[in-house]
Amino acid sequence: MKKIIPILLLAGATLSLSSCDRDNDVIYDQTDNDTYSQVLEITGTFVLDNGELKFGGDFNTPIHDADQVLVYRLIGESPDVWQPIPRTVYIQSNTATPYELDYDFAFSKNRVEFYAGGNFNKTNIPSEVKPWLTKQTFRVVLLPGYFPKSTNGLSTQSVAPKVNTENYSEVIKVYGIDDSKVTKLKF
């Protein structure tokens, strides 16, 4: 009997301490607002600004710090063909050497900029290069930087889908993005 009483007291103390309730009036929003994917479409013409050919502008809403940004340029239609950026294209010229045109981009939480450069005179752009700098359409794909934890019970790490980011169609399919609901931005 003497051995049972301390065990019962210990069990009672454990139950009474573990059943305490924190009467907390703070309500936390459990909505998941940051694991989204979206596509922005931007059409513009490169202009010379401080020695660089570029165009760009601000996002409607800032992107999240951890988001991944992929950029593609429209190179064909019916159906649309999207080429990943950065990219170098070679344009035939009247000279022995073809023109080299480099497309690139830079972004921040609030803004995206598209750049063009190459082995041509930027202040007097050759006629063969001008169409490649005028009314160019880009798609910016914003992918979530955080993914739900693995459901296999073995991992507690965030698990990103495996996808070939060079292939726009595969990215859209894997992330379940509705390609008909692209947000068009005007800069």
Do the domain assignments include residue 53?
yes
Q: What angle do CA 26, 27, 31 make, to 5 degrees?
A: 150
If one counts the domains in the chain, the total is 1
pLDDT(26) > 90: no
> What's the pLDDT tens digit per position in 65-86?
788 899 999 999 888 999 999 9
Do the domain assignments include residue 30?
no
The pTM (predicted TM-score) of the whole model is: 0.73
Do the domain assignments include residue 14?
no
Do the domain assignments include residue 127?
yes
What is the rounded distance in angstroms from the CA atom of residue 101 to the CA atom of residue 119? 7
Do the domain assignments include residue 5?
no
What is the rounded distance in angstroms from the CA atom of residue 86 to the CA atom of residue 93? 22
Residue-range definition of the domain harbouring residue 100: 38-185
Do the domain assignments include residue 172?
yes
Q: Phi and psi dihedrals of 94, rounded to 5?
A: -80, -5
Which of these, 152, 138, 136, 165, lies nearest to 44 by C-alpha position?
A: 136
pLDDT band at residue 159 using 50, 70 and 90 as cut-offs? low
Do the domain assignments include residue 22?
no
Q: Per-residue DSSP letters for 156-174?
A: -SB-PPP--TT-HHHHHHH
Q: How would you label 133-154 residue by residue, b for 16+ Cβ within 10 Å and e otherwise?
A: beebbbbbbbbbeeeeeeeeee
pLDDT(29) > 70: no
> What's the pLDDT tens digit per position in 138-147?
999 998 876 5
Do the domain assignments include residue 16?
no
pLDDT(155) > 60: no
E-strand stretches of 50-110: 52-58, 68-76, 81-85, 87-91, 99-107
